[in-house]
Amino acid sequence: MIERIKHIIGGLHADMVSWRRHLHRNPELSFQERNTVAFVIERLRAEGIEVRSGVGKLTPDDPGTGAIALVRGAMGASDKCIALRADLDALPITEVGKDAYCSLNHGVMHACGHDAHTAMVLGAGIALHRLGSEWSGTVMLVFQPGEEKEPGGASLLVKEGVLNDPKPSGILGQHVTPELPTGKLGFRSGPFMAAADELYITVKGRGGHAGSPHLCIDPVPIAAQLILALQHVVSRRNRPGQPMVLSLGKVIANGATNIIPDVVRIEGTLRTFDETWRAELHGMLPDLAKGICEGLGGDVDFTIVKGSPVVKNDPDLTARIRSAAVDFVGADNIVDMDIRMGAEDFAYYTHVMPGCFFRVGTGNPSKPGTQSGLHRAEMDIDEDALSTGAGMMAWGAICELGR
């Protein structure tokens, strides 16, 4: 079966490159993926694959920009089902490079590889459909919106119950990884990626003339004290050996050379692996901020938007998929991964069913951009990796249905 999958995937490789480049040229932001999902649905239905559209609704009136497809094996009756997930959305980044397929939507870019994820799951689904007489059961293809933005498209699909008919015994997901060479696959059992929360802080003072600070309550030095104090939590309140990141990526004090502003706005992220500590921080950080700001004469609004939980790779499912990967790409191409402080809304699936989220190597020193980090304007992939990822998804599904 491996050789049959590789043969069909090889025949689909040019199509996957074309699909990925079309999606790359036409990126859409989270929960706006109308043309993206329409493109996917059109290709699935052209193959005769059953599709349910309009999933992943932000509101009851929202048309939904996700889709669920069901690929059914014809070799005997079976109620087994396994899900394969792809994410559809792009990021608000202005792209550089890639003249042949650079984004046509200025300020929006597939800088996290979701175009590749979609092309690979689409390729895996079509390959499985064409091999349908050789396996039994159902493969659910999950094309979800909004991975990059809260509340996370995965959480919406779980809430809507669209993964319950039929109910998969587990779900597989993958992510392109520039630091791994093309052809490599990376696995980790248990907790893999961090829980992520968004921080929105407004430090309030009283603005005025920069030459008369005694008549003002300057929020800028108050914000500076707060920023340092928040990092003190990481280094001195967090238990040594417990992974934690608190990064503040946006600080706006919109005054001028001669103007002290009224407020300073700060935005950032909190990343943790322990739910008890996470909950403690949600109480501790606003209290800490209030104490510092009021102690210096100001005030503060501190909002934490709770995001996706920890990605928990089911040990049994991950062991089986890792073993299948050894058969598919060879033991020399399997890499054991460390935990990652990046977040993934795939986590929501892993809290309601067994999940295995693995990494697909896409780095190649001979191809520009393919070793660039994710979420960067020059990020690209080695498109040879599309066959590895699509083939592994198809083979992993076959292995699970054949248990």
Residue position matching structure tokens 């792809």: 86
d(CA 358, CA 329): 14
Residue position matching structure tokens 């597939």: 110
Across 183-223, the runs of DSSP E, i.e. the strands, are 185-187, 190-193, 195-204, 208-209
Catalytic residue among 28, 33, 89, 95: 89
Beta bridge partners of 305: 198
d(CA 144, CA 114): 10
d(CA 105, CA 26): 6
**Neighbouring residues of 55: CB distance < 8 A, sequence distance ≥ 6:** 64, 66, 67, 68, 144, 156, 157, 160, 162
**Neighbouring residues of 192: CB distance < 8 A, sequence distance ≥ 6:** 310, 311, 312, 313, 337, 339, 340, 357
Residue position matching structure tokens 């008549």: 215
3-state secondary structure at position 106: coil
- Report yes or no: 312 and 350 within 8 Å, Cβ to Cβ: yes
d(CA 338, CA 184): 15
- Report yes or no: 320 and 187 within 8 Å, Cβ to Cβ: no
Catalytic residue among 87, 147, 148, 400: 147
Cβ atoms < 10 Å from Cβ of 38: 13
d(CA 169, CA 80): 7
**DSSP type of residue 234:** I
Active site residue 147: yes
Annotated active-site positions, please?
89, 147
